[in-house]
Amino acid sequence: MIDRYSRPEMADKWTYQAKYQAWLDVEIAVVKAWAKLGKIPKADAKKIVKNAGFDITRIDEIEAVTRHDLIAFTTSVSETLGSESRWFHYGMTSSDTVDTAVALQMTSSLDLVIKDVKMIMKSIKKRAKEHKMTLMVGRSHGIHGEPITFGLVLAVWYDEMKRHLDNLKQTRKVIAVGQVSGAMGNFAHAPLELEEFTCKELGLKPAPASNQVIQRDRYARLATTLALMASTIEKFAVQVRHWQRTEVYECEEYFAKGQKGSSAMPHKRNPILTENITGLARMIRAYATPAMENVALWHERDISHSSTERFWLPDAFVTTDFMLHRMNNVIANLTVMPENMMKNLNLTGGLVFSQRVLLELPLQGVSREDAYRIVQRNAMKVWEKIQAGESTTNKKGESLYLLHLLADKELRKSLSEEQIRECFSFDYYTKNVDNIFKRVFK
């Protein structure tokens, strides 16, 4: 974990203190379950629950000798107990403790991520309603297409984040499982009821079947869920980066008073937050690879997964949490420039209305092929003006494309001047925005 890209709320869930506390929570839950089953004296169980503790420095000292972190932990805890320590970690294997404890850490962390996603959805919704009818040009291949609204762009974002929210909730169910099934998962040394009581105490469900570990397809599901969401967040970031380009300049990351953009060029206002988000998303996606490779463990277990999970689990959660908060900050404080959006919408002299004209001609009996030829040849005349750096409007501010269409004799045989001018109305492109919003934000 890198402090620069960490928030304490998430980072604290993956400290050594948090890890060992989760281990202790599992061990104590098992002690309670054994007592409930009558296997160990209730008086001893009460002593363990009350007095069991650990010391991280002492664990490190013991591990330096044992070369086994779980044994170092159980030894440290036993030193805080009396004779009742014989019941601590009774009938368990290391992975019973570790994997069940990691489930506690993962579910707690995922709850925070889910909270983050709800936060960003709230910000997107607010800005979408604010700019529901703010006109801008839609782009495909980076080229101007037809008029849309900025609110519609944000509605698409909201709808995509809702899918991620649903996916995160489903993934939480997948990872919220524990095990106390013993060394090979055969329950030879403990009844199934022990696992059931323990998991209920911890707010988990028992894995229906496990061997020595919780199966790593569950972890891979988590990693790919976070990676997929990171890709969506990067998509948002890339769009903001494009909008902030000087040649476009329709939106801009908030630039605070006193902020500096370049050590060499004082005029610069760079999209540093969204560029950072792009980099963070690359890291989160990278964690999916070791998580998927961990699925194929040897037989009932090996520990090839262990080292990678010490890296990717905390880093994926911490980075995802940080990235979501950073993107939320970008969206909530995004500077939107409707005037520049309209300027760019009009940049091509009315070419954005070409499909409207194209669709009117077949209604008048013109074939699709002839209609396309007529509409395109007039559009190409405007492109020639754009290539030459000439104005795409006349002195009255009328678009050249409109003027070329009005002067096209073949076109005028099918469409009147009024019909042609009617094709250049922005209202045509916004007439269903309210209905789309009702579907998205219902």
Residues 384 and 333 in one domain: no
The residue annotated as part of the active site, out of 83, 108, 181, 262, is: 262
Residues 365 and 331 in one domain: no
Examine residue 358 and state whether it is found in any structural domain, yes or no.
yes
**Structural domain range at position 244:** 100-178+213-342
Examine residue 147 and state whether it is found in any structural domain, yes or no.
yes
Examine residue 282 and state whether it is found in any structural domain, yes or no.
yes
**Which DSSP symbol is given to 84?**
G
Instruction: State how far the Cα of 226 lies from the Cα of 232, in Å rounded to an integer.
Output: 10
Examine residue 125 and state whether it is found in any structural domain, yes or no.
yes
- Residue 340 makes CB contacts below 8 A (sequence gap 6+) with 248, 249, 250
Start-to-end Cα distance in the chain:
39
Q: Maximum CA pair distance of the chain?
A: 103
Q: Domain end: 323, 342, 361, which one?
A: 342
Residue 401 belongs to what H/E stretch?
helix 400-407
Examine residue 277 and state whether it is found in any structural domain, yes or no.
yes
The residue annotated as part of the active site, out of 78, 89, 94, 141, is: 141
- Residue 256 makes CB contacts below 8 A (sequence gap 6+) with none
Residues 288 and 398 in one domain: no
Instruction: State how far the Cα of 185 lies from the Cα of 93, in Å rounded to an integer.
Output: 9
Residues 358 and 304 in one domain: no
Phi, psi of 104 (to 5 degrees): -65, -45
210 catalytic residue (yes or no) = no
- CATH label of the domain that carries residue 256: 1.20.200.10
Residues 290 and 409 in one domain: no
- CATH label of the domain that carries residue 371: 1.10.40.30
**pLDDT by 10s per residue, the chain, length 442:** 688 999 999 999 999 999 999 999 999 999 999 999 999 999 999 999 999 999 999 999 999 999 999 999 999 999 999 999 999 999 999 999 999 999 999 999 999 999 999 999 999 999 999 999 999 999 999 999 999 999 999 999 999 999 999 999 999 999 999 999 998 989 999 999 999 999 999 999 999 999 989 999 999 999 999 999 999 999 999 999 999 999 999 999 998 888 888 888 988 899 999 999 999 999 999 999 999 999 999 998 888 888 999 999 999 999 999 999 999 999 999 999 999 999 999 999 999 999 999 999 999 999 999 999 999 999 999 999 999 999 998 888 889 999 999 999 999 999 999 999 999 999 999 999 999 999 999 8
Bridge partners of 137? 147
Instruction: State how far the Cα of 178 lies from the Cα of 100, in Å rounded to an integer.
Output: 4
Instruction: State how far the Cα of 392 lies from the Cα of 400, in Å rounded to an integer.
Output: 5
Residues 125 and 262 in one domain: yes
Residues 139 and 229 in one domain: yes
Dihedral of CA atoms 362, 366, 369, 375 in degrees, nearest 10, equals -80
Q: Domain end: 293, 322, 342, which one?
A: 342
Indicate the residue type of 19. Answer: K
pTM score over 0.85: yes
Number of domains in the chain: 2
262 catalytic residue (yes or no) = yes
Residues 276 and 149 in one domain: yes
Buried b / exposed e along 393-415 (16+ C-beta atoms within 10 A): beeeeebbbbbbbbebeebeebb
Q: Are strands 205-206 and 177-178 parallel, antiparallel or unpaired?
A: parallel
* N residues, the chain: 442
Residues 172 and 314 in one domain: yes
CB 193 within 8 A of CB 262: no
